[in-house]
């Protein structure tokens, strides 16, 4: 007896309650458009009664046409002392002009009496009044029953009364919220079954990941007959985060055979996009979409993987927009290097001195702190260098940076000079910048651009600095990772030195040399 | 009918197959000692047959006394063509001189015939021979049945034969491995029940997190009667990682009432320790132990949390060595600031102009890119500054850095000069360093140390650089986070600028000023 399952995204509301996550109104619109494009059914855009910025989002959203998703405004049941029509916060819900609204209400008697400071009966009226009022104004109404799974343990009867009140007042869907995030799947399944039996209709599920089982809890509720999963992209959210939709969606559609009507091959792209806008580093170990999700490291495994891909991967990576990656590391045997070189168009012979040369160099550099997993461009240059096949476009003679900071005189200057040799010609440039690396970057491009105008398209996308052995404080070895892009492709390069400027120079040069090499 | 449950840690073996994780032999010993101290039952130290470095670990381990944990060596069933006594890899297992050994064997017919290239019967003999041989030599023997849950789907009969062969040959424990990581809890529970019924004894469970339900899968197996959970600290491991023991242990002991005989209040410390040694950034959203795990952000929530802590937290944070944290952000109301200030010993009055002043300044700085969540020392200085209560130990007049790199002449110099004013006296110093920030740090300390000798204890523990709006390439705004320590306490400070040197200077100065302020 299977019901259609809908996906309700609260990245823009519950997700923003997470540490370090905040979106501008424009960001929110961009995320919403991408979510709509992807095919989620509901997009909870904000909480206008709590966050004034959110009203701006709904104004913008109202101007647009949405393909499939229903933009949803979030709010609360009316205040205890007020009539629902007099509650400004409820009015703001209507002002948002959304097809759907979700209101959260209190389930746990302790919260009702201590936080709301109203009677248990009044709380039921608050729920019913608010739902009915919003229905009367033509909205689809979802009711979030806060702390449901904890409350049900202490007072199952009252808990059931709250959701019955919402349901009887016309709520289109009751959503059980596992607000504290600590329940285990067995309890979630049991309670969900009971509520569905009591109401005579399916419910939605809204879980958190405090016990590390947020996704499993949502799946358990679906098994019990729930018809909607609420969550966030990449599991953003307060504390440990909300149920991660990026994990739940493929589990439902690929593992449990539930058709959500979405194109999962765009899953990874969606995950990365939202991380980018939220300025959150991608979780390389994210299920399904992480860079490492289908990455094989151990040499022994890789050999077998090449032979029998489907038996070593729980799904075909392309089904979720991901790809199989072979990484280089000190545990890898020849297979890894061979596959990587082949992918670069450099055929190597298994067991050859060439392969061993490359392996030895990789191990040596790794023991010095280099990591090539996100710096495949530096790795390719390394391979070519070892095989005597490197094509260098320029040679460094000298560089020099200077920085002066005099707050009282308002002096702030950073300057870099670069002396390079291109085809035997000496080129000597100087430029300023916002910092030493920027100044070097500009001086270097100034030197190269007249000779290689195509470099004009290359931009630095990301710049990461990591201290390798921080036990030595500011003198520690530094690893710099640069991600560059020409608008089409992106590539990563790495540099290591105790001096962050030298490490950055190294990664910068690799980036430009790699680009120029690819042009030939 | 509950069996005692043991914890089997494979951080040092399966965990090291993860992207970016590698331990020196000394690291491994330190981790093993910490694990033993914590109370896990088995510590899988390595795979001597695959990684020569691991033999060194077992040599070291054999010299030590272990309180509770059994050091375990990992290997494989004998090679198809060899007699077990002639298999060098099996011999290495014995050479490790461990009380226990774990061998992995193939379950899936396809792997047996295609990868091992032996008959299904021969594979059973390989399993039985190896187990019996190791038992004969006095080892406790655990048998890992690789890919069990996928194999059981395709060929349940043969799968059961493999584990029966191990069990009949004397294996002390059969461990079912969910190697591809894609099974859901319901299947894991069902299969585990069947195997236990077939063997007439409990089994162990070894899961992976590819479907985002690794922990839930282990819990499901325990519900089905399993008696051992295998996993890694912080969920390290290939691809998405192994079952995270840091999440599983509190779930078992605090939620499922299973006494593992461990002191969970040391859980967080264990998690951080292993991350430090592995040089992995702490996952702030890790269940139970993450910095954000009990962090409340939204102003509304915080107010309620103060009133009814137990109803807003799934467990008391102190049970796992964590603490409740209130963070500052643009969504917070007064409650957050008040609590934070109170914790710093600065009593503020709710609704006062002071609180609003601080809030306004926080919002302003945050819109410029500052983040205070990991920089509580900078935040405290900010509060004091806003309240006119700042005590500055020195004022900057000017600083200057210069760096020259001439590879051919082997010239590599970085120099910084610092001009500050302390109690009206001008102090002007110069020093060299391994990079501009290090040179500044040294020149600054050179200036301050004679006047403030206690600064000699302060060290930089971590230095993070993050590009805030990387769309502007190397000219982007940079946020620097510094973590400092005096051997007892650690504190975080932040700096923001388009110039990484200025951002670093800001965080550096905050760090020293904070330390000096606390001394008074």
How sure is the predictor about B331, in pLDDT bands with cuts at 50, 70 and 90? very low
Q: Which of B311, B376, B504 to mutate to test the interface with A (most CBs of A within 10 A)?
A: B311
Long-range contacts of B506-510 (CB under 8 A, 24+ apart): B506/B480, B507/B375, B507/B378, B507/B480, B507/B481, B507/B482, B508/B437, B508/B440, B508/B441, B508/B444, B508/B482, B509/B396, B509/B444, B510/B375, B510/B377, B510/B378, B510/B381, B510/B482
- In the predicted model, is pLDDT for residue B316 greater than 60? yes
pTM: 0.74
Under an 8 A CB cutoff, do A186 and B212 touch?
no
Q: Which of A214, A240, A292 to mutate to test the interface with B (most CBs of B within 10 A)?
A: A240
Chain A residues whose beta carbon lies within 8 Å of the beta carbon of residue B301: 238
Specify the range with the lowest mean pLDDT, choosing from A66-70, A420-424, A468-472.
A468-472
CA A210 to chain centroid, in Å, comes to: 18
ipTM, two decimals = 0.73
What DSSP character marks residue B17?
A: G
Q: Does A15 contact chain B (CB < 8 Å)?
A: no
Residue in A69, A74, A70, A64 with CA at minimum distance from that of residue A15: A74
Q: Kindly state the greatest CA–CA separation across chain B.
A: 88
Q: Does B319 contact chain A (CB < 8 Å)?
A: no
- In the predicted model, is pLDDT for residue A499 greater than 50? yes
Specify the range with the lowest mean pLDDT, choosing from A108-112, B162-166, B215-219.
A108-112
What DSSP character marks residue A79?
A: P
Q: Which residue of B has its CA nearest to A473?
A: B460
In B342-381, the residues whose Cβ lies within 8 Å of chain A are 371, 373
Q: Which domains does chain B have, with CATH numbers?
A: 6-278 (3.20.20.70), 295-364 (no CATH), 368-391+458-520 (3.30.160.340), 394-451 (3.30.160)
CA B178 to chain centroid, in Å, comes to: 22
Average pLDDT over residues A3-22: 88
Confidence (pLDDT) at A367:
75
Q: Does B26 contact chain A (CB < 8 Å)?
A: no
Average pLDDT over residues A333-353: 73
Q: Does A290 contact chain B (CB < 8 Å)?
A: yes
CA distance A244 to chain B (A): 9
**DSSP H or E segment with residue B472:** none
Question: What is the β-pairing status of strands A325-326 and A395-406?
Answer: unpaired
Chain A residues whose beta carbon lies within 8 Å of the beta carbon of residue B277: none
Under an 8 A CB cutoff, do B474 and A467 touch?
no
Chain A residues whose beta carbon lies within 8 Å of the beta carbon of residue B328: none
A30 within 8 A of A60, measured Cβ to Cβ: no
Q: Which residue of A has its CA nearest to B333?
A: A50
Q: Does B267 contact chain A (CB < 8 Å)?
A: no
pLDDT single digits (tens) A122-166: 999 999 999 999 999 999 999 999 999 999 999 999 999 999 999
Q: Which residue of B has its CA nearest to A485?
A: B473
Under an 8 A CB cutoff, do A441 and B210 touch?
no
Q: Does B239 contact chain A (CB < 8 Å)?
A: yes
How sure is the predictor about B210, in pLDDT bands with cuts at 50, 70 and 90? very high
The total number of residues shown for chain B amounts to 520
Under an 8 A CB cutoff, do A22 and B329 touch?
yes
Of A306 and B145, the structure prediction assigns the larger pLDDT to B145
How sure is the predictor about B243, in pLDDT bands with cuts at 50, 70 and 90? very high
Under an 8 A CB cutoff, do A478 and B239 touch?
no
What DSSP character marks residue A178?
A: E
Specify the range with the lowest mean pLDDT, choosing from A235-239, A471-475, B52-56.
A471-475
State how far the Cα of A286 lies from the Cα of B414, in Å rounded to an integer: 40
- In the predicted model, is pLDDT for residue A205 greater than 90? yes
CA distance A462 to chain B (A): 6
How sure is the predictor about B378, in pLDDT bands with cuts at 50, 70 and 90? very high
Phi-psi label, residue A346: left if phi above 0, alpha if psi -120 to 50, beta otherwise: beta
Confidence (pLDDT) at A410:
83
Q: Which of A108, A239, A362, A408 to mutate to test the interface with B (most CBs of B within 10 A)?
A: A239
Q: Does A293 contact chain B (CB < 8 Å)?
A: yes
In B70-99, the residues whose Cβ lies within 8 Å of chain A are none
- Cα four-point dihedral sign A371, A375, A377, A378: negative
Q: What is the percent of chain B with per-residue pLDDT over 70, rounded to a whole number? A: 92
- In the predicted model, is pLDDT for residue A79 greater than 50? yes
Under an 8 A CB cutoff, do B478 and A402 touch?
no
Q: Does B216 contact chain A (CB < 8 Å)?
A: yes
Q: Does B426 contact chain A (CB < 8 Å)?
A: no
The total number of residues shown for chain A amounts to 520
SS3 B479: strand
Q: Which of A155, A471, A473, A502 to mutate to test the interface with B (most CBs of B within 10 A)?
A: A473
> What's the token pair of residue B65?
């006394």
- In the predicted model, is pLDDT for residue A366 greater than 60? yes
Confidence (pLDDT) at B23:
81
How sure is the predictor about A469, in pLDDT bands with cuts at 50, 70 and 90? low
Q: Which residues contact B176 (CB under 8 A, 6 or more apart)?
A: B145, B148, B149, B163, B191, B192, B195, B203, B204, B205, B206, B221, B226
Q: Does B392 contact chain A (CB < 8 Å)?
A: no
Q: What is the percent of chain A with per-residue pLDDT over 90, rounded to a whole number? A: 59
pLDDT single digits (tens) A27-71: 899 899 999 999 999 999 999 887 777 899 999 999 999 999 999
Specify the range with the lowest mean pLDDT, choosing from B58-62, B310-314, B499-503.
B310-314
Confidence (pLDDT) at B332:
46
Chain A residues whose beta carbon lies within 8 Å of the beta carbon of residue B460: 470, 473-474
pLDDT single digits (tens) B384-440: 998 888 888 999 999 999 999 988 888 888 999 999 999 899 999 999 988 888 899
What's the mean pLDDT when you consider all of chain A? 88
Q: Which residue of B has its CA nearest to A419?
A: B406
Confidence (pLDDT) at B348:
80
Question: What is the β-pairing status of strands A228-231 and A140-145?
Answer: unpaired
Q: Which residues contact B364 (CB under 8 A, 6 or more apart)?
A: none
Residue in B206, B212, B144, B208 with CA at minimum distance from that of residue B172: B144
State how far the Cα of B125 lies from the Cα of B116, in Å rounded to an integer: 13
Q: Kindly state the greatest CA–CA separation across chain A.
A: 88
Q: Does A500 contact chain B (CB < 8 Å)?
A: yes
Specify the range with the lowest mean pLDDT, choosing from A161-165, A186-190, B223-227, B319-323.
B319-323
Under an 8 A CB cutoff, do A329 and B241 touch?
no
Average pLDDT over residues B187-212: 98
Residue that has been written with the tokens 């491994």 in this structure: B28
A135 within 8 A of A142, measured Cβ to Cβ: no
A466 within 8 A of B277, measured Cβ to Cβ: no
Confidence (pLDDT) at A257:
95
Q: Does B334 contact chain A (CB < 8 Å)?
A: no
For chains A and B, count residue pairs whose Cβ atoms are closer than 8 Å.
357
Q: Does A309 contact chain B (CB < 8 Å)?
A: no
């Amino acid at each position: 007896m299977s019901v259609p399952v809908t996906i309700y995204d609260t990245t823009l509301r519950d997700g923003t309650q997470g540490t370090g996550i905040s979106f501008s109104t424009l960001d929110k619109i961009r995320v919403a458009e991408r979510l709509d494009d992807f095919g989620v059914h509901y997009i909870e855009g904000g909480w206008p009664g709590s966050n004034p910025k959110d009203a701006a989002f709904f104004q913008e959203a109202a101007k647009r046409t949405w393909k499939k998703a229903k933009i949803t405004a979030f709010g609360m049941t009316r205040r205890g002392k007020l009539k629902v029509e007099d509650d400004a916060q409820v009015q703001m819900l209507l002002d948002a002009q959304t097809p759907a609204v979700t209101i959260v209400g209190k389930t746990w008697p302790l919260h009702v009496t201590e936080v709301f400071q109203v009677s248990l009966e009044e709380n039921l009226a608050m729920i019913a009044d608010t739902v009915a009022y919003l229905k009367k104004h033509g909205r689809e109404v979802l009711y979030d029953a806060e702390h449901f799974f904890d409350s049900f343990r202490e007072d199952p009867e009252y808990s059931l009364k709250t959701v019955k009140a919402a349901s009887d007042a016309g709520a289109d869907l009751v959503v059980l919220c596992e607000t504290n995030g600590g329940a285990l799947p067995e309890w979630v399944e049991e309670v969900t079954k009971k509520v569905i039996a009591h109401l005579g209709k399916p419910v939605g599920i809204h879980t958190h990941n405090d016990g590390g089982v947020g996704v499993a809890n949502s799946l358990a509720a679906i098994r019990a007959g729930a018809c909607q999963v609420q969550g966030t992209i990449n599991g953003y959210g307060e504390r440990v985060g909300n149920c991660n939709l990026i994990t739940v969606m493929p589990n439902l559609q690929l593992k449990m055979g539930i058709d959500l009507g979405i194109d999962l091959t765009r899953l990874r792209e969606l995950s990365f996009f939202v991380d980018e806008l939220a300025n959150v580093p991608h979780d390389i170990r994210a299920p399904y979409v992480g860079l490492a999700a289908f990455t094989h490291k151990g040499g022994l495994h890789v050999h077998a993987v090449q032979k029998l891909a489907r038996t070593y991967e729980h799904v075909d990576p392309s089904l979720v927009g991901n790809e199989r990656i072979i990484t280089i590391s000190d545990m890898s045997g020849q297979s890894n290097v061979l596959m990587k070189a082949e992918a670069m168009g450099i055929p190597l012979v298994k067991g050859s001195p060439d392969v061993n040369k490359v392996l030895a160099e990789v191990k040596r550099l790794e023991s010095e702190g280099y990591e090539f997993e996100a710096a495949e461009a530096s790795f390719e240059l390394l391979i070519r260098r070892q095989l005597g096949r490197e094509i260098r476009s320029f040679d460094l003679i000298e560089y020099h940076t200077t920085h002066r900071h005099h707050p009282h005189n308002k002096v702030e200057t950073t300057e870099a000079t670069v002396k390079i040799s291109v085809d035997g010609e000496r080129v000597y440039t100087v430029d300023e910048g916002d910092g030493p690396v920027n100044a070097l970057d500009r001086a270097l491009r100034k030197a190269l651009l007249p000779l290689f105008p195509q470099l004009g398209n290359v931009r630095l996308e990301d710049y990461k600095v990591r201290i390798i052995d921080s036990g030595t404080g500011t003198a520690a070895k530094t690893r710099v990772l640069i991600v560059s892009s020409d608008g089409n492709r992106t590539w990563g390069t790495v540099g290591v030195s105790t001096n962050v400027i030298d490490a950055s120079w190294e990664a910068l040069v690799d980036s430009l040399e790699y680009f120029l090499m690819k042009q030939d």
